[in-house]
Amino acid sequence: MKRLVLFLLVAGSAFACAPGAAHDSLMPVLVGLLVILAAAKLGGELALRVGQPAVLGELVVGIAIGGLIHLGVPLPDIAHAPIFEVLASLGVVVLLFEVGLESTVSELLSIGGRATLVATIGVIGAVAGGIGLGMAMLPGHSFVLGLFIGGAVCGTSVGITARVLRDLKQSTTRAAKLILGAAVVDDVLALVVLSLVTGIAIGMAGGHAFDWRLPVRSGLLAIAFLSSALILGPRVSRWIFRISKRMRSPDLLLPIALAFAFGVAAIAGYVQLAPIVGAFAAGLTLDRAEYRTLIDRGEHELEDLIHPVGQVLTPIFFVVMGARVELWRLGHPTVWLLTGALVAVTVVSRLVLGLAAPSGTSKLTVALGMIPRGEVTLIFADVGRRLLVHGTPFLSEDEFSAIVFVVAVTSLMTPPLLRWQLRRVGGA
Amino acid sequence: MKRLVLFLLVAGSAFACAPGAAHDSLMPVLVGLLVILAAAKLGGELALRVGQPAVLGELVVGIAIGGLIHLGVPLPDIAHAPIFEVLASLGVVVLLFEVGLESTVSELLSIGGRATLVATIGVIGAVAGGIGLGMAMLPGHSFVLGLFIGGAVCGTSVGITARVLRDLKQSTTRAAKLILGAAVVDDVLALVVLSLVTGIAIGMAGGHAFDWRLPVRSGLLAIAFLSSALILGPRVSRWIFRISKRMRSPDLLLPIALAFAFGVAAIAGYVQLAPIVGAFAAGLTLDRAEYRTLIDRGEHELEDLIHPVGQVLTPIFFVVMGARVELWRLGHPTVWLLTGALVAVTVVSRLVLGLAAPSGTSKLTVALGMIPRGEVTLIFADVGRRLLVHGTPFLSEDEFSAIVFVVAVTSLMTPPLLRWQLRRVGGA
């Protein structure tokens, strides 16, 4: 113990007297990663002890870290530093790739029609709710603004649901596949809504006619991407692994698989879809039969290789998401009223879409699993704040904050609700 | 094949027509990682085919990518983008942590005296050579400038040697331990030289007396860090794992071990040592006996967990190092003359220090293993370029480039030489 104190003194004095000029860019990253990994494990442990999924604990410690940074505690700013934004995004890309690996294209296509129905109902519900909210609550009874905030809450972020399902070892159930499939579809639909509303707003601002070709092009591009990924992805990966079989280097499987995932995720991003949709598609299209030769040669199974990478990267996403929640903004009544209304729109539209789940699948599981709002919602918030109509931002600061809070509230409410439901029905 | 063409067309048109506004910061990272991972594996394969270590291939493809970027090929700028700098640094931190895990503190201390002797001889040789060079070649026959460039080439970067030793499964030999130990010591000595020369240069610039306390403080701080790390590190890690035993969460070992490594690396950085020295010390102090309970509980061995993380991160370091080499600067005769002279100083001082290796250890292996210059050299280059003496940078643009080239040349020459030597003596 005396030596520990001595060590802390030496370490502390080192921190205090040497400003570390030589390794400027790396120091805050190392400290930030240390804080994130330690906090994630402690938060996860506390959540487990009170019977909640670990991911909830990671989000909550993230909120705490964000609060400490706001109060001036000298920690690396994990909520806003670009490096942590990138590492967090890589974390959720790897997570969705892992989840994709657990399914196959044919499994997903077998529920494709139903997933499309479920997603469409959810999007119509959210947009209708948003328009209603806009007419009832927002200044000027704005139809367009309502359409925008409805669109903002129509894309589902499967990161949190995927994590809860994995933690409870239920990511291969029919309900899980329906949720994942529907989340891909509603991402595409959200994209169409975004280009639609942005087009209308730009038309309003410029005084010229609205160009219908914009949303049509986005939609077609997204559909082209998804069909190419699902039809041609397996061929491309087979071709890559055919080359790899002739290579003599050790340790080929993980780098090749990850490069493939990053590539497909990047293409998804270029067609304005969430990169995680691409990562999920990449995981779906990789088939163990193609890389079996590499495993026969002595490499570990891909799941065993990717899991440690995910263990390190995935918590970064959840802690950083938590750290971005700016609790103190809830002081404004408009913010929490609008947040509450949007959460209500989300939950009600989910309960309605759940009704379209096929018999044999728990409707409530599907509804709860599709509650979390995520990157698509944050993209709407970001686009809306930067879009100027007659010199004023399309979204006010309060409207912007409310949309961000919807992400936080839905992210926090899903893990306990979903866990409760899955325990109740035994994962039907 | 027709479908592959179709896929490439779809993917290509997606790249061309959608600028990807929504995921700006992530896209270049995904594409860059795809390029790095694919290039590293192809370069490594080509190197293996011509009988060279994979790391040489990774450096060479890195140089090629750097050239392509310079020629205007639209690739993410992996040589200069901060995110790749950070990922590369994390890669070499993880590599040195892995190498540290393969040894123990007592093994290192048993060769500590000899390692200090070897390192001291190497540093004296490099500094004497640098001063000689300065008096003979540099404008104004500068003693101080010579001291500076001698200091620049006195710190050894063990990243490349560690990688070659690992690839040939010889990272636990006596020669390997001597190299690693001596590299830690000469890093400390290089630090003392840096604060010495910087102090003299600042004194020259300001016209006031040189402050001897600066280099003394740096040296003491570094020694305090190393002794605390080696003496108290094991106690701290034991204490952390004692807590982890009481935790119920799965997947604790890797996040805890990495958080520990990042923490010790950060402390090393704060005392102005290279963070990789800290990562190596962290690996040394972690002992399997401490975390055996976690493995008994079903977690994989730490080596199996960290290896996949290293597989992804480590090649980033080598490809990025290669991409930073600006070959076209070799057009200036001063640059390549000075580069050649500094490489000669490095190699001769290594051959001299090799003589101090104990009998039973191959003197030539130790000499060759200590050739690579790395981050310490780059730090000198960076400090020298930014340090103004009477309004002029202490290092000219050509002197700066030459120092950077020394890193490239020594990095490229070491893998084939070391491999040749290790094959010849069978790893004595």
Q: What is the pLDDT of residues A259-272, one digit of tens each?
A: 999 999 999 988 88
pLDDT tens for A133-169 read 999 988 776 888 899 999 999 988 888 888 889 888 8
pLDDT tens for A368-421 read 999 999 878 887 888 888 788 888 888 888 888 899 899 989 989 999 999 999
Quick one: average pLDDT of B71-86?
Answer: 93
Q: Is B221 on the interface with A (CB under 8 A)?
A: yes
pLDDT tens for B4-60 read 444 444 444 333 333 333 457 899 999 999 999 999 999 999 998 987 888 889 989
**pLDDT at A311 > cutoff 50:** yes
A163, two tokens? 């994590």
Angle, in degrees to the nearest 10, between helices B26-49 and B302-323: 90
Quick one: average pLDDT of A76-81?
Answer: 93
The pLDDT confidence band at residue A78, using thresholds 50, 70 and 90, is: very high
**pLDDT at A10 > cutoff 60:** no
Q: Is B306 on the interface with A (CB under 8 A)?
A: yes
Compute CA distances A50 → A45, A57, A147, A416, whole Å: 9, 10, 40, 11
Touching B: A residues 8-27, CB under 8 Å: 10-11, 14-15, 17-18, 20-23, 25-27
CB pair distance less than 8 Å for B267 and A15:
yes
Distance from CA of A253 to the nearest CA of B (A): 10
Looking at residue B23, what is its pLDDT? 54
pLDDT tens for B187-218 read 888 878 887 787 777 777 666 666 778 778 87
Across the A:B interface, residue pairs with CB atoms under 8 Å apart total: 236
Q: Which residues of B touch A18 (CB under 8 A)?
A: 221, 270-272
Is A365 within 8 Å of A422 (Cβ atoms)?
yes
Distance from CA of B8 to the nearest CA of A (A): 9
**What sign does the CA torsion over B200, B206, B207, B212 have?**
negative
Q: How far is A60 from A110, CA to CA, in rounded Å?
A: 37
Interface test with B, best of A6, A10, A24, A26 (most B CBs within 10 A): A26
Written as one letter, the residue type at B119 is A
CB pair distance less than 8 Å for B7 and A221:
no
The pLDDT confidence band at residue B315, using thresholds 50, 70 and 90, is: very high
Q: How far is B419 from B47, CA to CA, in rounded Å?
A: 12
Of A18, A34, A41, the CB nearest to B263: A34
Compute CA distances A360 → A172, A353, A356, whole Å: 15, 16, 12
Looking at residue B140, what is its pLDDT? 73
- Alpha carbons within 13 angstroms on the beta-carbon side of residue A126 total 32
**What sign does the CA torsion over B305, B306, B309, B315 have?**
negative
Touching A: B residues 284-303, CB under 8 Å: 300
Q: Which residue has the higher pLDDT, A196 or A359?
A: A359
Looking at residue B84, what is its pLDDT? 95
Looking at residue B209, what is its pLDDT? 65
Backbone angles phi, psi at A388, to 5 degrees: -100, 130
Looking at residue A26, what is its pLDDT? 92
Within 8 A by CB and 6+ apart from A44, the residues are A54, A55, A57, A58, A315, B249
Closest CA to A407 of A332, A326, A348: A326
pLDDT tens for A38-66 read 999 999 999 989 878 888 899 899 999 99
Quick one: average pLDDT of A171-187?
Answer: 89
CB pair distance less than 8 Å for A25 and B263:
no
Q: Which residue has the higher pLDDT, B408 or B347?
A: B347
Is A266 within 8 Å of A258 (Cβ atoms)?
no
Is B224 within 8 Å of A10 (Cβ atoms)?
yes
The pLDDT confidence band at residue A8, using thresholds 50, 70 and 90, is: very low
Q: Is B44 on the interface with A (CB under 8 A)?
A: yes
Q: Which residue has the higher pLDDT, A207 or B178?
A: B178
Domains and CATH numbers, chain B: 86-425 (1.20.1530.20)
Q: Which residue has the higher pLDDT, A220 or B258?
A: B258
pLDDT tens for B242-301 read 999 999 999 999 999 999 999 999 999 888 888 888 999 999 999 888 899 999 999 999
Quick one: average pLDDT of A80-109?
Answer: 90
Touching A: B residues 225-264, CB under 8 Å: 225, 228, 231-232, 235-236, 239, 247-249, 251-252, 254-256, 258-259, 262-263
Is B410 within 8 Å of B372 (Cβ atoms)?
yes
Backbone angles phi, psi at A28, to 5 degrees: -60, -30
Is residue B140 classed as helix, strand or coil in its secondary structure?
helix
CB pair distance less than 8 Å for A309 and B306:
no
For chain A, give the mean pLDDT.
86
